[in-house]
Amino acid sequence: MIKKCLFPAAGYGTRFLPATKAMPKEMLPILTKPLIQYGVEEAMEAGMHDMAIITGRGKRAIEDHFDISYELEHQIKGTDKEHYLTEIRELIDNCTFSYTRQIEMKGLGHAILSGETLIGNEPFAVILADDLCDNGDDESVLAQMVKIYNKYQCSIVAIEEIDPSETKKYGIIDGKEIEDGIFMVKNMIEKPDPKDAPTNLAIIGRYILTPDIFNIIKDTKPGKNGEIQITDALMTQAQKGMVLAYKFKGKRFDCGSVDGFVEATNYFYSLSK
C-alpha cells in the first residue's frame, strides 16, 4: 500500500515572474483551482491520504490553502457560494498535510531527500505539480502507476514520447519493453543534448519510489547544472536492482511553461463547458 505522496514545491517559478514574486507557482490556478490541488486530488484518487509537501521561503499560501478559513466559511455559509469550497473541504477532511522546508535549492534529488523524515521507511509517490495530468473519467496517471507498483514492487517513473529536439528539458530513459508500455530501465540521463539522447522517452513529474532511494541520494554527486538529480539516483537504483518506466495513458501539460499553462487552461475550460 502506498499511503504517502511527496510534493516538491520549493522552486522559485522564475518563468512566471512577476506573478510568482510573492505567490508560490504551485498556487497558480488553472481555471479556479491551484495547480497543487490538482496534484493532491490525483494522489487521493490513487489511494493516498498523507501529503508531504516540501516548501521553501515564501510558500505559506500552500499551507493556508489546505486549511480551514473560518472567516471565509462563516461569511459564505448558507449562501449560493458555499459550494465553491466543497472540493477543497473534502481534501482537508480526508487527508493529512505535513510540511518541511528545503533550506537550499540543490536540485530535485535534494528536495526529495528533504522529505525523508516525513516519509520514513516506506514506498511513496512523488508529484511535480507543474506537470498537470488528466485522463478524463479513466484512471489517473498515479493510479495507473500504483497498479504497476503492486505487481513489481520497485521504483517507477512515468514517461512520454517527446519531440527529439526537446530532450534538454527532461530526464531521458532507455530500456527494454517488458510489457506493453512498461520498460525496464537500462539507462537514464538528465537533460541530454538531442545528439546524446538515447531515445525520446522523457520522464514526467510522476514517480513511485522505494525508500532505499534516500540513501542512494545521499551518495549521489551533483550532476547536471551542479544539482543533485533524482535521475542520477534512479540510475544507480536501476543498476543495483530494477527501475521501471511507464508510458502512461492520458494527457500531460507542462504548466511550468507559459505555453503549457495556457494549453492546460484552454483544455480544462473546454471540458467545463
Least distance CB 223 / ligand G1P (angstroms): 10
**Rule CB under 6 A: is residue 261 a binding residue for ligand G1P?**
no
Could you tell me if 94 and 140 are in contact, meaning their C-beta atoms sit under 8 angstroms apart?
no
Binding mask 162-201 for ligand G1P (x = CB under 6 A): --------xx------------------x-----------
The secondary structure of 159-189 as a DSSP string is EEE--GGGGGGSEEEEEEEEETTEEEEEEEE
Give the residue with the Cβ less far from ligand G1P, 24 or 205: 205
Q: CA nearest 89: which of 116, 70, 115, 113?
A: 70
Least distance CB 112 / ligand G1P (angstroms): 10
**Closest-CB residue for ligand G1P?**
171
DSSP structural state of residue 133: E
**Rule CB under 6 A: is residue 204 a binding residue for ligand G1P?**
yes
Least distance CB 107 / ligand G1P (angstroms): 8
Binding mask 91-110 for ligand G1P (x = CB under 6 A): -----------------x--
**Rule CB under 6 A: is residue 155 a binding residue for ligand G1P?**
no
**Rule CB under 6 A: is residue 205 a binding residue for ligand G1P?**
yes
Q: State the cell numbers at 45.
A: 484518487
Least distance CB 257 / ligand G1P (angstroms): 9
Packing angle of the helix pair 86-94, 35-45 (nearest 10 deg): 50
- According to DSSP, the residues that pair with 204 across neighbouring strands are 158
Segment (H or E) for 208: strand 201-209
Distance CA 170, CA 131 (A): 12
Residues 116-135 that bind ligand G1P (CB under 6 A): 128, 131
- Please count the residues of this chain forming the interface with ligand G1P, following the rule CB under 6 A: 13
Segment (H or E) for 176: strand 171-179
State the CB neighbour count (10 A cutoff) for residue 135. Answer: 17
Binding site for ligand G1P (CB under 6 A): 108, 128, 131, 170-171, 190, 202-205, 229, 231, 256
